[in-house]
């Protein structure tokens, strides 16, 4: 069958297996010794990190073993969706400490990508709140990993994109909140420098994110709306159920062009810029506004899209971001969704994405002439000592990966020990040179 990531690029012909429980999954791994496989959760990684000729789904690993509201701990299968945790947690005055831009990510995927949210500068990555997880190795052995037990494997698996084994279940530390209402403050930045100054000045805010008009030019380059957020104190502990819309079919890609995107961005900035305010908003409106639109990836057309997310260190931030935005603007390939955030310190995980600095995510519809632009952006990112997010990547080359992830050799060395035949591999890992050398 044809399978793709959230970006719908690339597409692979694959066999998909969905074992009904942990035992069935273990039996599959033991019996299929000659298969090279990758595990797939909710399918929300954008590129090819969960694509291979043989894919094992974790969707039936969706049970809760424990929900301890007193200690704010949840123990659940890797296939559990973050939104389902919130349904249990919110009425108890609990919340996920790290929440990405969508609630439809699986727990296993959140660990494998070591996801971050709008509060990385305060709380770090998802792995900071993973107490432990059970990992199925290529040998068939199941081991428990944590910050203090099998630490080396914990640090390789968090951010390791499923290449160390199959995450079966995890214990996660939740945080206590008095309300899930977010007190949102919006501020207008007239250009990139102003945007970064606002983010820096409000680095103590629990949550912060900026929407960037990536098609603004000259003195308005990088103009933005910055959204700051804090949990409210109105005792609102209700799970919010929103009626969702759906994009039924892939829209014609010609509708997305520099003119329609420029018009949208200009209108958005004009409208939001006039409504600068401080007001309470629902948590899902702040964290995952696009979840209300099912299949929103179809808006980019049948060929799909690529998200290009990178980070540059603080000291190189302004120059690097300005170069990227200038190139994007000159190419006329701007994005409706250009999101800028501030990162805090890097962690010890071998392939985790965040480093202290600024991260920008840009969506581009897929077209052949996009690739030269992205190659230019790669060079800018590397020149500014930055890196590209593996969970969003669909085309980075091996040289770029190895130049920007300094712990890649340590990761590969550990992988050779626990998976000498590279049974766990993906299109991405082959492309990046993590597993290609040992292709059977």
pLDDT in tens, 77-126: 999 999 999 999 999 999 999 999 999 999 999 999 999 999 999 999 99
Domain that holds residue 152: 64-177
Are 144 and 287 within one domain? no
Domain membership of residue 34 (yes or no) is no
pLDDT per position as a tens digit, 276-287: 779 999 999 999
Whether 243 shows a pLDDT value over 90: the answer reads no
Reduced to 3 DSSP states, what percent helix, strand and coil does the chain have, rounded to the nearest 5? 35, 25, 40
Partners of 16 in beta bridges: 55
Residue that terminates a domain, selected from 358, 378, 396: 396
What CATH number is attached to the domain comprising 147?
3.30.465.10
- Percent of the chain topping pLDDT 90: 82
Contact 93, 237 (CB under 8 A): yes
Are 224 and 365 within one domain? yes
Contact 340, 359 (CB under 8 A): yes
Residue that terminates a domain, selected from 177, 202, 217: 177
Are 328 and 270 within one domain? yes
Are 86 and 116 within one domain? yes
Are 262 and 388 within one domain? yes
Are 114 and 221 within one domain? no
What CATH number is attached to the domain comprising 353?
3.30.70.2520
Contact 301, 373 (CB under 8 A): no
Q: How many domains does the chain have?
A: 2
Length of the chain in terms of residues written: 440
Domain membership of residue 329 (yes or no) is yes
Domain membership of residue 265 (yes or no) is yes
* pLDDT of amino acid 439: 38
What DSSP state is assigned to residue 66?
E
Q: How far is the C-alpha of 357 from the C-alpha of 317, rounded, in Å?
A: 7
Q: Which DSSP helix (H) or strand (E) runs through 11?
A: strand 11-13
Whether 274 shows a pLDDT value over 80: the answer reads no
How many other β-carbons are positioned within 10 Å of the β-carbon of residue 407? 15
Are 228 and 198 within one domain? yes
Residue 434: name the closest of 404, 402, 403 by CA.
402
- Is pTM, for the whole model, over 0.85? yes
Are 208 and 81 within one domain? no
Domain membership of residue 15 (yes or no) is no
Backbone φ and ψ for 384, nearest 5 degrees, come out as: -105, 20
Q: Over the Cα atoms of the chain, what is R_g?
A: 21
Are 192 and 307 within one domain? yes
Domain membership of residue 433 (yes or no) is no
* pLDDT of amino acid 69: 96
Q: Which DSSP helix (H) or strand (E) runs through 311?
A: strand 305-313
Domain membership of residue 351 (yes or no) is yes
Are 253 and 375 within one domain? yes
Are 132 and 235 within one domain? no
* pLDDT of amino acid 437: 52
Q: What token pair was written down for 157?
A: 């698996």
pLDDT per position as a tens digit, 335-379: 778 999 999 999 999 999 999 999 999 999 999 899 999 999 999
Are 163 and 232 within one domain? no
Q: Coil, strand, or helix at residue 202?
A: coil
Domain membership of residue 402 (yes or no) is no
Domain membership of residue 410 (yes or no) is no
């Amino acid at each position: 069958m044809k399978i793709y990531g959230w970006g719908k690029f690339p597409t692979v012909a694959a066999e998909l297996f969905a074992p009904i429980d942990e035992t069935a999954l273990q039996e599959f791994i033991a019996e299929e010794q000659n298969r090279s496989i990758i595990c797939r959760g909710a399918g929300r990684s954008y590129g090819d990190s969960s694509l291979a000729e043989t894919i094992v789904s974790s969707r039936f690993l969706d049970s809760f073993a424990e929900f301890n509201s007193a200690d704010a701990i949840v123990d659940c299968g890797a296939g559990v969706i973050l939104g389902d945790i919130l349904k249990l947690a919110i009425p108890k005055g609990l919340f996920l400490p790290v929440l990405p831009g969508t609630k439809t990510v699986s727990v296993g995927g959140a660990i494998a990508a070591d996801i971050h949210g709008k509060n990385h500068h305060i709380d770090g990555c998802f792995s900071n709140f993973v107490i432990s997880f059970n990992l199925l190795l290529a040998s068939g052995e199941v081991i428990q990993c944590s910050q203090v037990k099998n630490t080396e494997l914990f640090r390789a698996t968090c951010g390791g994109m499923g290449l160390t084994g199959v995450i079966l279940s995890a214990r996660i530390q939740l945080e206590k909140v008095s309300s899930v209402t977010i007190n949102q403050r919006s501020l207008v930045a007239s250009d990139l420098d102003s945007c970064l100054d606002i983010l820096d000045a409000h680095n103590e805010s629990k949550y912060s994110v900026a929407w960037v008009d990536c098609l603004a030019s000259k003195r308005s380059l990088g103009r933005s709306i910055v959204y700051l957020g804090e949990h409210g104190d109105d005792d609102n502990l209700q799970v919010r159920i929103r009626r969702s819309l759906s994009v039924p079919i892939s829209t014609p890609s010609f509708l997305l062009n520099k003119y329609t995107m420029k018009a949208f961005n200009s209108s958005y900035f004009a409208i939001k810029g006039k409504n600068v305010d401080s007001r309470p908003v629902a948590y899902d409106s702040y964290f995952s506004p696009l979840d209300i639109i099912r299949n929103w990836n179809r808006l980019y057309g049948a060929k799909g899209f690529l998200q290009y997310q990178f980070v540059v260190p603080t000291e190189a931030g302004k120059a690097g971001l300005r170069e990227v935005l200038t190139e994007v603007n000159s190419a006329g390939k701007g994005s409706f969704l250009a999101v800028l955030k501030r990162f805090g310190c890097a962690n010890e995980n071998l392939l985790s994405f965040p480093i202290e600095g600024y991260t920008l995510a840009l969506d581009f519809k897929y077209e052949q002439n996009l690739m030269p632009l992205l190659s230019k952006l790669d060079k800018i990112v590397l020149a500014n000592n930055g890196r590209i997010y593996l969970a969003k990547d669909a085309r980075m080359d091996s040289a770029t990966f190895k130049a920007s992830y300094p712990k890649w050799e340590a990761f590969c060395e550990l992988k050779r020990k626990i998976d000498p035949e590279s049974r766990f591999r993906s299109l991405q890992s082959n492309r990046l040179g993590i597993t290609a050398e040992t292709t059977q």
